[in-house]
Amino acid sequence: MRYVDVHGVKLSAIGLGTWQFGSKEWNYGSSYEEKESAAIVHKALDLGVNVIDTAEAYGWGRSERAVGRAIVSRRDEAFIATKVFPVMPVEPVIKDRARRSASRLGVQSIDLYQIHWPNPVIPLNLTMRAMASLQRSDLVKNIGVSNFSLALWQQAERFLSGKVLSNQVRYNLLDRRIENNVLPWAEETGHVVIAYSPLAQGVLSGRYSRGNIPTGLRAYTAAFQPENLDKAIPVIDALKRIALEHGATPTQVALAWLISKPNVVVIPGASSISQLQANVESAQLDLTDEDISELNDVSSIYKLSSGLTDQLTRAARAGQLLASRTLKRYIRPVKSAW
Ligand SMILES: NC(=O)c1ccc[n+]([C@@H]2O[C@H](COP(=O)([O-])OP(=O)(O)OC[C@H]3O[C@@H](n4cnc5c(N)ncnc54)[C@H](OP(=O)(O)O)[C@@H]3O)[C@@H](O)[C@H]2O)c1
């Protein structure tokens, strides 16, 4: 295993994402939640993975509980990262949420406590005050954010008056937006980018195509819409070609491309032990400069068309607009009548 070492914190470059544990969105069933998830965590620890990522929102606590059951007696081998769902991220609420997460995980202290999303209403300084207090109390070792822009990440750090170690963001060959400023800043300043959906939720495995998509939430996401699966073909073909040269799989090449960058930790989810094992092995894969520039070139052409979720949002916005225009039309004559 390769490790990213920042300010004395040692993180495996390949971690394990556990949204899949007990979450209806993934449809993996009860035997996966009760048995396979623990076996996946154990195998990950055996292979030198320490970063295990979960969140209170995953299966509404079921993922944290599954992780907790799995790390009993192996607590010291794991770096447990969880997230607060920031509905009302102010001090008493955050402290309560953190205590509940720690209890579900069965740990005295959470290694990395992350704010899952920015809250558009509650001022960030209130949230960071709560995070600082948790850190002082030792319930939380390190603070992180997720889905934060660079400006917000920097602001969070100013409010904390300390290091906001990481920003967990979507990063994969089909979504490279964070390369604009988040990633360069992390590299320059010794922060960590935790790449979620590093396999674009399985699209980059090359297993899915128009007419063959997984069940569950993924069927409704933009990346799995037929036109976007078609657009991903050149990227997947490049992954396959490079994989063949290295005796690897497309998935392994996609992960190796990500961790070829300093300060990037990936947290792929896995639906089986063999997937987890294959993902971990990608840490041994050294891509050549030519491989990397081929992947850079082919992926820079990919542009996601908005999927069903975006279409619904757009339809809702269009509906709002129509309603407000209609209202104005009716209000104007009333006003002029006054
Ligand atoms: N902070 C956030 O807002 C946020 C958002 C999303 C995710 N996350 C975190 O990031 C983690 C990973 O992201 P993700 O689960 O969205 O997507 P991902 O890791 O890109 O995709 C995971 C899926 O890819 C497939 N896969 C994994 N390894 C494979 C292999 N070796 N060969 C073939 N297929 C393989 C599996 O699905 P199938 O076998 O069913 O195809 C697996 O469930 C999550 O578990 C969660 O911890 C965080």
What tens digit of pLDDT does each residue of 66-120 get? 999 999 999 999 999 999 999 999 999 999 999 999 999 999 999 999 999 999 9
Non-local (6+) Cβ contacts of 118 within 8 A are 86, 124, 145, 147, 148, 149, 152
Write the pLDDT tens digit of every residue in 118-158: 999 999 999 999 999 999 999 999 999 999 999 999 999 99
Nearest atom in ligand 1 to the alpha carbon of residue 198 is 20
pTM metric for this prediction:
0.92
Q: How far is the CA of 134 from the centre of ligand 1 (A)?
A: 29
Nearest atom in ligand 1 to the alpha carbon of residue 172 is 20
The response to whether residue 205 sits with its C-beta less than 6 Å from ligand 1 reads yes
Residue closest by Cα to atom 21 of ligand 1: 201
Residue 3 β-bridge partners: 12
Residue 46 in tokens: 């055996």
Residue 101 in tokens: 């997460």
d(CA 230, CA 242): 20
- Mean pLDDT score across all residues of the chain: 92
d(CA 110, CA 98): 8
DSSP assignment of 146-215, as one string? ES--HHHHHHHHHHHTS-EEEEEEE-BTTB-GGGTTHHHHHHHHT-EEEEESTTGGGGGGT--BTTB--S
Q: Could you tell me the residue ranges of all domains in the chain?
A: 3-305
| pLDDT at residue 305 in the model | 86
Residue closest by Cα to atom 10 of ligand 1: 196
The response to whether residue 275 sits with its C-beta less than 6 Å from ligand 1 reads yes
The angle, 0 to 180 degrees and rounded to 10, between the axes of the packed helices 233-246 and 250-259 is: 90
Of 196, 204, 213, 274, the residue with max ligand 1 atoms within 8 A of its CB, to mutate for a pocket test, comes to 196
- What b/e readout covers 164-179, taking b as 16+ CB neighbours within 10 angstroms? bbbbbbbbbbbbeebe
The response to whether residue 36 sits with its C-beta less than 6 Å from ligand 1 reads no
CATH: 3.10.20.30, 3.20.20.100, 3.40.50.300, 3.40.120.10. Which one for 3-305?
3.20.20.100
